Amino acid sequence: MDLSLPQIWLIVGLIMLLAELVSVLLVFVFFAIGALLTSLLTVIGILPTTESQILAFSAISLVSLLVLRKHARKLLDRTGNSGYTEFVGETAMVIKDIPNDGEGKIYYRGAEWKALANNHSSIPAGSKVVIKKTEGIVLIVEES
């Protein structure tokens, strides 16, 4: 079974879409756009040679990356801020002192978590704290 060039570009585009689903880089999607548009342009006869297809793929991928990445990142950041709000308001136990200007550790849901004091005050080990917000994998807490 021989694959035509448009089919190869289509397969490359679908592989890039799958790679984007697995990664969090927000880069592969732009290569997918380049490959899928190259496949379409090849099917309709605008890109007859392999060289023109590679050039079109590169140009489309680069332009889409430069034009769309900033907008896509803003969109994802807006929707991503609501993640992990389930921790807010929960109680945890400090297992390693939280200094006023650094990280300590808390025990929450069967695991140790990095923690910072919300009001930059030190919290000794053994204290109960309330989780106020999350910043990545670090929990921001206040003494209860």
| pLDDT value at 125 more than 60 | yes
Which tens digits make up the pLDDT trace of 1-52?
799 999 999 999 999 999 988 887 788 999 999 999 999 999 999 999 999 9
| Most confident segment among 49-58, 71-80, 130-139 | 49-58
Which tens digits make up the pLDDT trace of 62-117?
999 999 988 887 776 654 444 556 788 889 999 999 998 889 999 988 889 999 99
Burial label, 114 (beta-carbon count in 10 A; 0-12, 13-18, 19+): middle
Report pTM.
Answer: 0.55
108 in Cβ contact with 139 (< 8 Å): yes
Q: Give the separation between CA 5 and CA 16, rounded to whole angstroms.
A: 16
Q: Give the separation between CA 5 and CA 79, rounded to whole angstroms.
A: 38
Q: Give the separation between CA 6 and CA 12, rounded to whole angstroms.
A: 10
The full set of domains in the chain, from first to last, is: 5-80 (no CATH), 85-143 (2.40.50.140)
pLDDT of residue 130: 92
pLDDT of residue 83: 53
pLDDT of residue 48: 95
